[in-house]
Amino acid sequence: MNWRAALFLAAAIAFAQTPAERPGRPAAGEPPPAVIRIDVNLVQVDAVVTDSRGRRVGDLQASDFQIFQDGKPQAITNFTYVATKLAAQAPPAAQAKPAKGEPDAPPQPLQPAEVARTLAIVVDDLGLSAEKIPPVRDAIRKFVDGQMRPGDLIAIVRTSAGMGALQQFTTDKRLLYAAVERIKYGQSRLGVTSFTPLGLLTRGDRNINRLRNQSLEVASLDAIRFVVTSMSGLPGRKSVVLFTEDMRLIQRGVVNQMEEEALQELNDAACRALVVIHAVDPRGVANVALNVEDAPPPQAPSRRAARIPAQRVQQTIETQQGMTAMADATGGLFLEGNNDLAAVLRDAAADSDGYYLIGYHPDPRTFESANGQPEFHRLSVKVVKAGLAVRTRDGFFGQPEYEGDPVAPTREEDLASALQSPFAAGSIHPRMTAYFSNAPQTGSSVEALVYFDPAELGWTTEPDGAHKAEIDVAAAVFDEGGQALAPVDTTLSLEMTPEQYDSVMASGLVYAMHVPLDKPGPYLLRAALRDPATGRSGSAQQFVEIPDVANGQLTLSGVVVREEAAKAGALLPPGAASALVGDRSGGAARRIFQRGTPVVYSCEVINAKAAAGKPPELESQFKLYHDGELVSAGTKQPLAAAGAQRPRAEGRVPLEPGMAPGQYVLQVIVTDKLAKSKSAPATQSVDFEIKP
């Protein structure tokens, strides 16, 4: 894959994998890991045990299990029960609506250690009928409303869509709601209803339809496999909940070899990534009665009409073959016959609340290949105690996760891997600050500041005392459809005098970007840095919503927060699209402040109303949140707007010495007193960290 293609694919799903964390391949110069899931040292599988009422059982011992590979019993060498964080906690009730006229609280950032459940909701809109799109959309919205937990990391993915800004793992309900709204009927292998009308197509039409549908089904499987593979870098047992109506393996008694191979590859990828797939058939209780469009022409013989219900039953079974195979192979659930899709989604998400990890040392011949191809090995797990049921994976290919000597990843592999991280990941630790801006003459844009510590680079010292280093930079802005805008792929050479070197070591470096954007909508900014001297890399990302300024609604630019005592200067030379500069932002790029030190915030007010001959009447307030709780709020203050085309909302936020360290979110609220009484206030928020 070339670098440009890798950069585009990095937008698909924002999942973590730094070079040292990549499963099955250690960083160059490091020994292979002693214990991994599928290797000559250990095969480790996950299993869920339930009682006769479907309740999870989590108090069993290794002696209560038997595990078999290809029918042969294996000695259990590794055993543990993993209880997901917050599993015992009841799902939160839907949040109370704020008081009239008050905005919702801003979303809170989620750190990697705080993730309790990772869930990809995959909507196979290539395999959904038009009539099932609305109930699937409603079910997902209800789940986000009332069943999403504080530690949930969720992505909503469509198999037909380019992987864009809204198809990322997030904790932000606003992004999830926006992704739900994009679920619409389009290019599907199904029509308006769940079943193609029977008996109305010619043989030629049926053949063309079959080839088209097979192609779209493979496209669905490939999209799901990409999601599964991308999740491998995230810790713990992950879940994919797949909504589809049509996933066939056999049509008219013939096995489709292409689809079968695609399904096997998907199942093996899920096993290695510790991902379970729950397949949901949204048709609920299948209707096999005659539909109006199924009625045969009047001249058809009566015995043909009698055969149609039987054909409908057989067609239903055929459409579910891939779903059941996928769920069974990965230890997941196949869920049908339930018209409450929201409850089905809730149960599927809860399946990862607790599971067993069972491992054994495999026979070395497990990983011998036959005719150059790895052999598929069947797994089965049994529970000795009566009345209990166990679900696990059905097997794996005898291909170890790590093979041969460690190979140093290429520059392109390092950067592409770093770009896929949902968190600031890696051994270089950049931080991104990106915010929306608008100028009356040039329109909207995103200003992005990527801060990093130059001490994390491998510097050399020249005989004359000069210091040299290089830094690879890859960055892009991804729109809703996954298109990479203003991509950056460059290597910057740094050469500094001793004085310059000491200065940037104290202040840090910032890679600043200015990206004009003429279309409103959601955008995702991603940046990856790599040190060519050491091979270390890291990444950062931020979501930015570009509002429609032309609609006249009250809007705020992005909020910049910095130390009160600092004097922030311009970050980019006039007319420059990007530049690497010493950090002159007064902490705005890094967004890490010491408690006890006051900070100030600033943003621009756009589309404020004004009466004839009078300035706008604006009122602003800030609110500060920690762990979702309001910790302080400023008083509402009038803004000085006289003579200003774009007034600024500014204020001071004291960070008290006794404040707890951690992540905080500052929300700025501006109300237009001259706007219609029903107009909502405009808000913007920015997160930052407080250190002791």
- pLDDT tens digits for 517-546? 989 988 888 888 999 998 888 888 888 889
Measured CA to CA, the distance from residue 177 to residue 14 in angstroms comes to: 18
Measured CA to CA, the distance from residue 348 to residue 152 in angstroms comes to: 14
Q: What is the DSSP letter of 171?
A: S
Neighbour count for residue 296 (Cβ, 10 Å)? 17
Measured CA to CA, the distance from residue 450 to residue 434 in angstroms comes to: 8
113 burial type by CB count under 10 A (0-12 exposed, 13-18 middle, 19+ buried):
exposed
Q: Are strands 662-672 and 682-691 parallel, antiparallel or unpaired?
A: antiparallel
Terminal-to-terminal C-alpha distance of the chain: 45
> In 3D, which of 434, 471, 460, 416 has the Cα closest to residue 591?
434
Long-range contacts of 361-364 (CB under 8 A, 24+ apart): 361/41, 361/42, 361/43, 361/74, 361/75, 361/77, 362/40, 362/42, 362/43, 362/69, 362/74, 363/69, 364/40
Q: What angle do CA 502, 505, 510 make, to 5 degrees?
A: 125
Query: Does 21 score more than 80 pLDDT?
Result: no
Return the SS3 of 344: helix
Strands (E), 36-160: 43-50, 65-69, 72-74, 76-83, 117-123, 152-158
Measured CA to CA, the distance from residue 45 to residue 38 in angstroms comes to: 9
Measured CA to CA, the distance from residue 550 to residue 558 in angstroms comes to: 17
Residue 34 · residue 41 · CB < 8 Å: yes
Query: Does 11 score more than 50 pLDDT?
Result: no
Element (H, E) at 137: helix 133-146
For the whole model, what pTM was predicted?
0.71
> In 3D, which of 514, 474, 508, 512 has the Cα closest to residue 491?
474
Residue 377 · residue 398 · CB < 8 Å: yes
pLDDT value for 446: 93
Element (H, E) at 472: strand 467-478
Which residue matches tokens 């950069």?
Answer: 7
> In 3D, which of 558, 565, 634 has the Cα closest to residue 593?
565
pLDDT value for 677: 67
Which range among 135-144, 405-414, 431-440 shows the weakest confidence by mean pLDDT? 405-414
Query: Does 583 score more than 70 pLDDT?
Result: yes
pLDDT value for 4: 31
Structure tokens at 52: 């006769």
Q: What is the mean pLDDT of residues 23-29?
A: 34
Q: What is the DSSP letter of 458?
A: -
- HSE at residue 150, side-chain half, CA atoms within 13 A, is 13
Return the SS3 of 8: helix
pLDDT value for 81: 92
* Distances in whole angstroms, Cα of residue 534 to Cα of each of 405, 526, 635: 19, 22, 50
Q: Are strands 152-158 and 117-123 parallel, antiparallel or unpaired?
A: parallel
Q: What is the mean pLDDT of residues 295-304?
A: 48
Which range among 30-44, 323-337, 350-364, 366-380 shows the weakest confidence by mean pLDDT? 30-44
Q: What percent of the chain has pLDDT over 70?
A: 76
Domains and CATH numbers, the chain: 1-22+409-590 (2.60.40.10), 28-397 (3.40.50.410), 591-692 (2.60.40.3880)
Residue 33 · residue 42 · CB < 8 Å: no
Q: What is the mean pLDDT of residues 666-673?
A: 93
